[in-house]
Structures are given as structure tokens and as C-alpha cells.
């Protein structure tokens, strides 16, 4: 039961990752890393296809080898998180939602910022 779910999730993440590599407002590499993780646990054939793909594979391989995130990607990720939080503050979200979101975004931003650069 788990294998088919991981394969479907892997393909969904692959499509989202490919879209993200074309659209500047969507993170592509994150989805490709998730796809590779799903495939590594469900289909060695699909994992080999993804890591060997000339356009998609290098992003996954670079992450696996160094865990590096490019400076531009770090800035875009952290900037997007900050902008998202600012938009959330303009809504009628309860204070607990704002605090929880802030903590999650701060933790995520700290992780992204702590990764080495290529």
C-alpha cells in the first residue's frame, strides 16, 4: 500500500519541481528532493531516471553530495517566507496561528540560511 502512494507522490513532486524550475516564484529543487526521497523508497528505476535526468538530476545530486543551497535560492526562500508572514498578519488570523506560523517560518528560515552555499 505504501509503495504506490510513494510513487504517486514522487511523480507529483517531480511535476511540481519541473514547474518550479521554470517559474521563479515556486521552489523547484525542494520538490525534486522530495520526489527523489519518495522514489528511493518505492522505485529504484524512477529514482535512477530522476537523478540521471539532464535538467532535473543535477539539483538532486548537488543536494545529496553537499546539502548546498545557492545564495539566490536562500534569499528567495527567506524573502518568500517573510512576505507570506506579512500577508498573514493582514488577515484576521488568531494570535495563536500567527505565533505558530512565525515559529515554523523562523525555524525553516534558520535551516535554509544554515545550509552551505555551492
pLDDT digit of tens for each residue in the chain (118 aa)?
699 999 999 999 999 989 988 887 777 888 899 999 999 999 999 999 999 999 888 889 888 898 888 788 788 888 888 999 999 999 999 999 999 999 999 999 998 899 888 7
The C-alpha atoms of residue 12 and residue 26 are separated, in whole angstroms, by: 14
Q: Residue 62: what pLDDT? A: 86
Burial 61-73 (b: 16+ CB within 10 A, else e): ebbeeeeebeeeb
Single pTM value for the model: 0.71
b/e map 1-21, b = 16+ CB within 10 Å: eeeeebbebbbebbebbbebb
Amino acid at each position: 500500500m505504501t509503495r504506490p502512494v510513494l510513487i504517486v507522490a514522487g511523480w507529483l513532486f517531480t511535476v511540481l519541481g519541473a514547474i518550479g524550475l521554470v517559474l521563479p516564484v515556486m521552489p523547484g529543487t525542494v520538490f525534486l528532493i522530495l520526489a527523489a526521497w519518495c522514489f528511493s523508497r518505492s522505485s529504484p528505476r524512477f529514482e535512477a531516471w530522476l537523478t540521471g535526468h539532464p535538467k532535473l538530476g543535477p539539483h538532486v545530486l548537488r543536494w545529496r553530495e553537499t546539502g548546498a543551497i545557492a545564495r539566490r535560492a536562500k534569499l528567495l526562500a527567506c524573502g518568500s517566507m517573510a512576505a507570506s508572514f506579512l500577508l498573514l498578519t493582514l488577515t484576521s488570523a488568531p494570535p495563536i496561528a500567527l505565533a505558530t506560523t512565525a515559529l515554523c517560518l523562523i525555524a525553516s528560515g534558520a535551516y535554509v540560511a544554515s545550509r552551505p552555499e555551492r
